[in-house]
Amino acid sequence: MDGSLEQPLVLTSEDELQWTDSADFVVVGYGGAGVSAAVQAAQNGLSVIALDSFAGGGATAMNGGIFYAGGGTAVQQALGIKDTAEDMYNYLKLEVDGVVKAETLRRFCEGSVDDFNWLVTHGVRFGETYYPHKTFYPPAGYFLYHSDSGLAATYAAQTPSIPRGHKYWHARNNQATGFGIYLTEPLQASAKALGVRFWPRTNVQRMIMSKAGDVLGVMTLHMPEGSPYTKQFAEAQERARAILQKLPSSMPGFPKLERKAAGYWARAQQLQQKYGVPQFIRAYKGVCLSAGGFIWNRNMLREHAAKYVSNMAMGSPGGDNGSGILLGQSAGGAADLMERVSSWRFINPPAQWPKGMLINAAGQRFVNEELYGAAIGREMNENHGGRGYIILDRALYRQSWRSTLWENLFPFMRLPLILALIFQTKKGRTLGSLAKKIGVSEETLLASVKRYNESARGYSPDEFGKSAKECHPLLEGPFYAVDVSANSKLFPCSAMTVGGLKVNEETGQVLRADGSSIAGLYAAGRTAIGLPSNLYVSGLSAADCVFSGRRAARHASAQVR
């Protein structure tokens, strides 16, 4: 979708419009949530039309390919790892923190094995090698790992530390992203076999509603298959996306790329407006909005979450533009938590960085460094102005260089570390001289290091609950400060939006401001508020896409035509 979104077409009678096509269930956005909804609906016997502004896959296809699952999955069992739905629930309630109802979280956890098995029946494969150490992404050849904060002492004291990050199986390679296709492509193939009609390069322009406020269908601009103009349209779209993916959006030079991409976006829009064929699609049992978040809509981001504009946008360029949320709002749906953005300040690897101390612009330590990157990123961005420095002594600094150069890391992990260590690191013979170089209070920094060293040497508990084995006393100079701030140009702090349309958590129907459900309208994935809308952990968004997509399809299937 783009800026051409129109207000709903309201019908006195559905017969007053000449519908050009129809299906029981219409899916808008064909990423992880949309394809899950389509497959489940088709399995339930519904006719389905799936629409996507691009070629499908969305942000799910572009991500690192992690699915958060537990309660005793086949992979966990094969590796001898014991897990229960209750343990999974007890852990996730610490992360979810009431953003969804307790009964919704429990349903998710109790259905996790079923969601996992459902994916397997539709061709998704998972690997069976376990990486037991803390990392934000497992090394090549490993497929199950701790993709959350479960290994941190503060969490381990409350729930068992159990690996639940399941990576889709793939042949070994060193690509940076895109492992998510090992979920979306098998599901798309299964959907096609089940009779789902997929319309790529189709822009939803407006909702079609009854006077009573029910959703009847959608109006689209569809680029017809086989047209030379459709080929030109697709080439312009993909050229723009390719340009925007040459550099992280937070790096120097990106604004120039953005201006260049704008020309291709404009060309694509001109072609669609001129040659796109209007389609009025009747959805007898419902429309499911699953078009992602809005991290790539810079105007929406400035309006709702301006402090994250300088972060690296994670998602689908042109796809995660808020279109699904705006469509839902145009139909009377209420949005919430639009200020919520998950920002990931990963500092492991290298394993030596979290053994140091993370301070803010005042020189104060502010977080447990062994937590998952989203927990660190939220604290840094929400409460400390997005500023952060990792303080290392000589030993940790040297060891971090060795780990960066010689450990089994993907290139997308190694290169930013090297750049940060070379260009974003200040060195001081003493802590005092280091404080001057980074512009923090010498007195505050010395006091922070003193408290940290007392904990690291076992004289007192760590003030933020960090594990004793992860605390390294900062004693031997020279000392180093690595700038890991959110606006870092060479060490990106990635972000994605997690707010969206409010939904009935039992049915997936979009809610109005008064709490009533909009008949015929559903939302799933990052278009809706869901499990990751408080605090993200790796794989939880993909798992929520499957959970919420299937939920919407199940409820729609039960509606009387």
Is the pLDDT higher at 83 or at 245?
83
pLDDT for residue 169 is more than 90: yes
Residue 3's pLDDT is 45
Asked whether 83 and 70 are in contact (CB, 8 A), the reply is: yes
Residue 367's pLDDT is 97
Q: Which residue type, as a one-letter code, is found at position 302?
A: R
**Percent over 70 (pLDDT), the chain:** 98
pLDDT band at 177 (very low <50, low <70, confident <90, very high): low
Q: In the predicted model, what is the mean pLDDT of residues 459-473?
A: 95
- Count of C-beta atoms within a 10 Å radius of residue 18: 6
Backbone angles phi, psi at 174, to 5 degrees: -115, 25
403-417 per-position pLDDT tens digit: 999 998 888 889 999
Residue 176's pLDDT is 55
Burial 288-327 (b: 16+ CB within 10 A, else e): bbbbbbbbbbeebbeebbebbbbbbbbbbbbbbbbbbbbb
**Complete DSSP assignment for 34-76:** HHHHHHHHHHTT--EEEE-SSSS-HHHHHS--EEE--SS-HHH
pLDDT band at 175 (very low <50, low <70, confident <90, very high): low
294-346 per-position pLDDT tens digit: 999 999 999 999 999 989 999 999 999 999 999 999 999 999 999 999 999 99
382-406 per-position pLDDT tens digit: 999 999 999 999 999 999 999 999 9
Residue 2's pLDDT is 45
Residue 373's pLDDT is 95
Report the alpha-carbon distance of residue 426 to residue 392 in Å, rounded: 10
Structure tokens at 314: 């994670």
Tokens 């298959």 found at: 225
* Averaged pLDDT score across all residues of the chain: 95
Structure tokens at 293: 């978040």
Is the pLDDT higher at 170 or at 294?
294
Residue 250's pLDDT is 86
Is the pLDDT higher at 69 or at 170?
69
Q: What angle do CA 301, 303, 309 make, to 5 degrees?
A: 35
| Nearest residue to 290 via CA among 105, 510, 17, 136 | 510
- Cα–Cα distances in Å, from 104 out to 71, 141, 508, 529, 544? 16, 34, 11, 12, 11
Residue 410's pLDDT is 86
Report the alpha-carbon distance of residue 60 to residue 64 in Å, rounded: 8
pLDDT for residue 174 is more than 80: no
- Count of C-beta atoms within a 10 Å radius of residue 130: 18
Structure tokens at 85: 């739905």
Report the alpha-carbon distance of residue 549 to residue 306 in Å, rounded: 29
Q: Sheet of 312-313: strands edge to edge?
A: 312-313, 494-497, 341-344
Q: Which residue type, as a one-letter code, is found at position 93?
A: K
Residue 173's pLDDT is 72
Model confidence, pTM: 0.95
| Nearest residue to 183 via CA among 115, 234, 89 | 115
pLDDT for residue 430 is more than 80: yes
Report the alpha-carbon distance of residue 454 to residue 354 in Å, rounded: 17
pLDDT for residue 561 is more than 70: no
12-29 per-position pLDDT tens digit: 999 999 999 999 999 999
Tokens 């049915």 found at: 507
Q: Using CA of residue 163, residue 165, residue 171, residue 173, what is the dihedral sign?
A: negative
- Cα–Cα distances in Å, from 192 out to 146, 198, 297? 34, 8, 31
Q: In the predicted model, what is the mean pLDDT of residues 131-141?
A: 93
Residue 412's pLDDT is 84
Q: In the predicted model, what is the mean pLDDT of residues 119-144?
A: 95
